[in-house]
Structure 1
Amino acid sequence: MSTDYKFEGWMGLDASSIEGKMQWKEFEPKAWEETDVDIKITHSGICGSDLHTLRSGWGPTMYPCCVGHEIVGEAVRVGSEVKHIKVGDRVGVGAQGESCTGRKGPCAECAASNEPYCTKHFAGTYNGVFMNGDKSYGGYALYNRSPAHFAVKIPDAIPSAHAAPMMCGGVTVYSPLKHYGAGPGKTVGIIGIGGLGHFGVLFAKALGADRVVAISRKADKRADALKLGADEYVATAEDTEWMANNKRSLDLIVCTVSSSKMPINDYVGLLKVDGTMIQVGAPEDGALTIPAFTLIANRVKLGGSLIGSPDTIREMLELAAAKGVKPWVEERPMKEANKAIVDMEAGDARYRYVLVNEQ
């Protein structure tokens, strides 16, 4: 079956694309399967992962690459085997495009709705390879084709510009917050108040945490963090007593910082006995290291978390709709994607950019 639309988007051709040198080109989506959905993209969030990928920061990128895995738009073609989406639905796709789910003999993780941890196959929404051998292309584009299992319907109460950055940025912090029990009776720390961190504050409050502490190097985001709902703000580079004043005060920490140079030993010292720190930021500049004695002497846990499954995304969206979670976004025209990624790289976003197709 042929379509009357073309798959065109902003393509990174080499590592210089991070400098605002993406080029608008036509691309060939994955070969159509009756388990797929085609989405006419209206909104595409800009995620830090896009920048890492454009510059080959996490490893060699498969150029040409169309990034963008915070996709929202209208389903315009739906495979005959798809039951949860129909043509005309407003849907979203996050950072994962495929796992072994829906294939013969899914792994234990996929069977348990833990698709991001699939032991057999993981294809990113972009810069990945599907099981049919085709490359995946993302959302800085007019259309996206993805396996429908990873497309979710967007609740009517959530505007598309708000839903888009939730597809990756939102669920990346929501998932560990929910999994590790952020809620009534808990004190939660969010380290790094940026695109991910601002979602961390919003969702920790939406989940009912008793106290949410925003932690950043400088004091310049204090007012924003408090307006987002944080109860306290700690500026580690400007308060010489921050460790002494906050030692063993948090049940759960979610760290969004993507640098191996952060004072992780000090951050772990903020945990109560039996507390948990979960790392979601992925550094390009090296591994995170921590003295074993810090973990042993405080009986704390250090772990990590990767995005969220389709079921987790649906759960997050239901909570966001019920609690009126409103991320801070700035809409940018899709035609200005190059300028937007340069601004994102410069740290100008407060706190997420969302590209919008004009048609």
Structure 2
Amino acid sequence: MPTTVKAVGAKAENSPIEPLEIQRRDVLPEDVRVGIEYSGICHSDIHTVRGDWGDMPYPVVPGHEIIGRVLEVGDKVTRHKVGDLVGVGVIVKSCGECENCLDGDDHFCQGPTGPLLTFGEADPYTPGSFTQGGYSREIVTTEKFVYRIPENLDKAAAAPLLCAGITVYSPLKHWGAGPGKTVGVVGIGGLGHMAVKFAHALGAHTVAMTSSPEKVALGKSLGADEVLVTSDKEAMREAREKFDIIISTLPGDHDMNPYLDLLGRGGTYVVVGAVSNMTHPVFLPRLMKRHRSIAGSQIGSTRETQEMLDFCGEHNITADIELINADYINEAYDRVVAGDVQFRFVIDASTI
């Protein structure tokens, strides 16, 4: 029989986060049941429950930055055992048969329904129901999408690695961040602070970019070799053509042209933060005369996610967080929207 577990979620669009009870499926042969200890708050949780991204099947329990211990495993599970520290991220299933899945890019699954998101999508395991996320006490997930978490990491601070971490680690690796490369990170927020930490640990000359002069010390404290104040026109002129990769964590519509000028020959401006349409025209000669590129990236594959977590264990990298109880989530949402968090909220799931 399915298990009833405590959770918090939204019962309708724009309704507050409040206590709920949800059903978790029986553990199938390839499943892992996880007792959730910590769950990060991602801005996409807020967009989803507030209806910013279209209709949702309410009630919905958000959360895809999940850390906990294995409570039970199915008969065919080989990667995990009871008691292991594990994580669950943005997706919980892919078809496993399409070209992208077979190439190891399961987060780009081209199956009939694409990759199955951790919350808010039709649940193929329980017809008529929908996936529910990590703002809960337990979750049941196919073992392929359950990740080993290094025991040396702070558990609460490791939760945002499952979304914020992999979202910036994947493009840094894909575009070759490392020794001999100069990497810029635009925006020192939830995504950006992780990108600075990763780029520095990968051995790249790392430059944090912010429009706020008061964030210079903050950028350097995260591991940036330099901090470029983008509102300083002279500093921007001096930085032209110095960058191999720029990771843009800016969350919305913005003018890319000033950043394209910073790219050297063959440089790439990678968008990971903005998820809506851009309205500022790109001055094409900026791209053409230096073989520059504009690219995009979205989370990462299961292989990359485990690689990222192992890398974090080796370098003791976690997110900077504010740990909260479940009864503070609504206030935390308002603070995220206002930009008043340094850098991620994480829920203590024992308070649910």
Counterpart contact for 2:34–2:140, Cα < 8 Å = yes
Q: Hey, what does 1:98 align to over in structure 2?
A: 93
| Distance across 2 between alignment mates of 1:244 and 1:286 | 24
* 2:102 is the counterpart of 1:130: no
**Structure 2 residue aligned with 1:268, among 256, 260, 284?**
260
**Structure 2: gaps spanning 5 or more residues:** none
- Offset of 1:22 from its aligned partner? 1.1
| Distance across 1 between alignment mates of 2:223 and 2:341 | 19
Counterpart contact for 1:279–1:304, Cα < 8 Å = yes
* 2:104 is the counterpart of 1:113: yes
Instruction: Give identity over the alignment, percent.
Output: 37
Aligned AA (2:5): F
Point out the more displaced range, 307-316 or 131-140: 131-140
Q: Hey, what does 2:185 align to over in structure 1?
A: 190
**Structure 2 residue aligned with 1:50, among 42, 45, 49?**
45
Q: Hey, what does 1:233 align to over in structure 2?
A: 227
**Structure 2 residue aligned with 1:167, among 162, 166, 183?**
162
Quick one: structure 1 residues 66 and 2, their matched pair in 2 at CA, closer, same or farther if it must change by over 3 Å?
closer
| Distance across 1 between alignment mates of 2:280 and 2:89 | 26
Q: Hey, what does 1:212 align to over in structure 2?
A: 206
> What do residues 135-188 of structure 1 show as CA deviations (whole Å, max 9, x unaligned)?
111111111222221101111111211221101100100010011110000000
* 2:242 is the counterpart of 1:249: yes
- Offset of 1:356 from its aligned partner? 0.7
- Offset of 1:74 from its aligned partner? 1.2
Aligned AA (1:226): K
Describe the SS at the equivalent of 1:335. Answer: helix
- Offset of 1:30 from its aligned partner? 4.8
**Structure 2 residue aligned with 1:8, among 6, 9, 17?**
6
Aligned AA (2:318): K
* 2:79 is the counterpart of 1:84: yes
**Structure 1: gaps spanning 5 or more residues:** none
Counterpart contact for 2:184–2:246, Cα < 8 Å = yes
- Offset of 1:112 from its aligned partner? 2.2
Aligned AA (1:347): G
Describe the SS at the equivalent of 1:298. Answer: coil
| Distance across 1 between alignment mates of 2:316 and 2:77 | 30
Describe the SS at the equivalent of 2:233. Answer: coil
**Structure 2 residue aligned with 1:224, among 215, 218, 225?**
218
Counterpart contact for 1:206–1:319, Cα < 8 Å = no
1:32-47 equivalence runs, <5 A: 32-47=27-42
Aligned AA (1:225): G
- Offset of 1:302 from its aligned partner? 1.1
Point out the more displaced range, 80-89 or 183-192: 80-89
> What do residues 323-359 of structure 1 show as CA deviations (whole Å, max 9, x unaligned)?
1223211111123222222222221111111111237
Per the normalisation by structure 1, the TM-score is 0.91
Q: Hey, what does 1:303 align to over in structure 2?
A: 295
Describe the SS at the equivalent of 1:241. Answer: helix
Per the normalisation by structure 2, the TM-score is 0.93
Counterpart contact for 1:77–1:87, Cα < 8 Å = yes
Quick one: structure 1 residues 123 and 31, their matched pair in 2 at CA, closer, same or farther if it must change by over 3 Å?
farther
Counterpart contact for 1:30–1:135, Cα < 8 Å = no
> What do residues 212-238 of structure 1 show as CA deviations (whole Å, max 9, x unaligned)?
11112212322111000111112223x
Aligned AA (1:336): Y
Counterpart contact for 2:324–2:348, Cα < 8 Å = yes
Describe the SS at the equivalent of 1:15. Answer: coil
| Distance across 1 between alignment mates of 2:275 and 2:115 | 20
Point out the more displaced range, 122-131 or 186-195: 122-131
Describe the SS at the equivalent of 1:126. Answer: coil
Aligned AA (1:114): D
Q: Hey, what does 1:26 align to over in structure 2?
A: 21
Describe the SS at the equivalent of 1:16. Answer: coil
Counterpart contact for 1:125–1:146, Cα < 8 Å = no
Describe the SS at the equivalent of 2:79. Answer: coil
RMSD: 1.8
Describe the SS at the equivalent of 2:78. Answer: coil
| Distance across 2 between alignment mates of 1:243 and 1:344 | 29
* 2:251 is the counterpart of 1:258: yes
| Distance across 2 between alignment mates of 1:88 and 1:31 | 19
Aligned residues: 347
- Offset of 1:49 from its aligned partner? 1.4
